[in-house]
Amino acid sequence: MTQEYRVLWSDVAEKDLKGIIRYVAASNPETARQILKKIKTKADSLFVFPEKGRVVPELLEQGVAQYHELIISPWRIIYRIGEHEILVLSVLDSRRNMEDILLRRLIGH
């Protein structure tokens, strides 16, 4: 039997997602709804197989391997696997400098 995990969203990840949706909705509300559904569905799919996302390469280069990501181009869902839950930490635009953002958010606090 496969263990199921709860998928939880951090405040930062919720803020990231709201910002993305607000930005897209300003020019195309229907596209924003589709993006929201796609991102939420992809993140929720982690409840059965959380390791399906790869380790975040920019962090792995720094020796940090506990953060994973799912790609929904151009966005990256960054998450951490816990004992019984998945914590979505950020939803970031991959066209930005990921290393700086990730290191500042996830390591530098």
pLDDT of 102: 66
> At 63, which helix (H) or strand (E)?
none
List pLDDT tens digits, range 44-94.
Answer: 999 998 999 999 988 888 888 999 999 999 999 999 999 999 999 999 988
15 pLDDT higher than 80: yes
pLDDT of 1: 57
- Indicate the CATH number for domain 6-107: 3.30.2310.20
Residue reference for tokens 């990730």:
102
Name the burial class of residue 46, with classes exposed (0-12), middle (13-18) and buried (19+) by CB atoms within 10 angstroms of its CB: buried
- Residue 22 pLDDT grade (very low, low, confident, very high; cuts 50, 70, 90): very high
